[in-house]
Homo-oligomer: A and B are copies of this chain.
Amino acid sequence: MAERSEFALIRHYLSHLGANRRDVTLGVGDDAAVVVAQGQSLLMALDTLVDGVHFPSDLSAYWVGHRALAVNLSDIAAMGGEPCWALLSLTLPDVDEAWVSAFADGLGALAARHGVAVVGGDVTRGPLSISVQITGRAPATPLRRDGARDGDRVWVSGHPGDAMGGLSVWQSAVHRHQARWRGLRRAFLAPQPRVALGQALTGIATAAIDISDGLAADAGHIADRSDVAIDLSTLACRPSSRLRQWLGEAPAVDAQLGGGDDYELCFTAPASADDAVLSAARRSRTPVRRIGGVGIGAGMTCDGHPIADAATGYRHFER
């Protein structure tokens, strides 16, 4: 199933289920939902990783555990929130104690680093998949996808595309363990959700999203939801030198725009907030750069040219 038809399915059938509650501030369609409990706004997200779809089947259990939590922390980061509690549902084809132990280590280490307690869960038999749900405290003004305005700048953290490059390093029998490609390999194995940056950007950024489908596709989600056009500059987008060395110049640009699973943040902010953005990046020790601008209209362009649809629908590890 292509990502696009999945999104269409969600919107169509699953976006307005159940009761209308006044304590729901933001429902289906952003990185996380926002609900209000006793005056405290809470962020909630749920993501499932399926073996062979969201991670390669031979990925070690430690990094599967890390990833299962990281994708959820990234959702909270994209809203500017503070992650607090997680629930874990693990579906396993059989009992493999060593696997579960390593999985728990990977998930637990990342949880501890972010102050998250795993408070409950479920283990069940079936084809390998992992669902993690996370609840966090929302900031006063959560970073939504629909707040970008004409004239805003578009920013991104870190080096999108490196995760996709790192996957091909990791899959290479020859280069997998070479020290030279260690940085790329880590970008794939150990994505670091940008929780501190998201928090630092609250009150500054006008919109934000985490990059799971690819930079162009996810910036496109901001454009769609905000009812604006976004133009990216390939010059500003220049991929990391390690990615250019690994893939070559042109494929590196494609990987940067179309690769997924980076879990970096793409966000917008008014031009007047440039200094505030850079200061937030410094405080959170996260590299960021300006990669484009927001204008009147709709859709995504790159240097003024439409981006081919094929480049924007990252399909995880599908064959």
CB within 8 Å of B: which residues of A?
1, 5-7, 9-10, 12-14, 17-21, 23-24, 26-28, 30, 32-33, 35, 37-40, 42, 44-48, 50-54, 84-92, 94-95, 97, 100-101, 103-104, 107-108, 111-112, 114-127, 129, 131, 133, 135, 137, 318
Please name all residues of chain B whose beta carbon is closer than 8 Å to the beta carbon of A123 when the two chains form the complex.
6-7, 9-10, 14
Query: Once the chains bind, are B13 and A119 in contact (CB under 8 Å)?
Result: no
A74 CA to B1 CA, complexed, in Å: 32
Q: How far is the CB of A6 from chain B (nearest CB, A)?
A: 5
Nearest-neighbor residue (CB-CB) of A46 within chain B: B87
Other-chain residue from B7, B33, B38, B119 in contact with A44 (beta carbon distance below 8 A): B119
List residues of chain B with CB within 8 A of the CB of A52.
126
Partner of A37, one of B33, B42, B117: B42
Q: Are A117 and B20 in contact (CB under 8 A)?
A: yes
A61 CB, min distance to chain B CBs, angstroms: 11
7 contacts between A and B (CB under 8 A): A38-B39, A50-B125, A53-B124, A91-B129, A126-B127, A127-B127, A133-B133
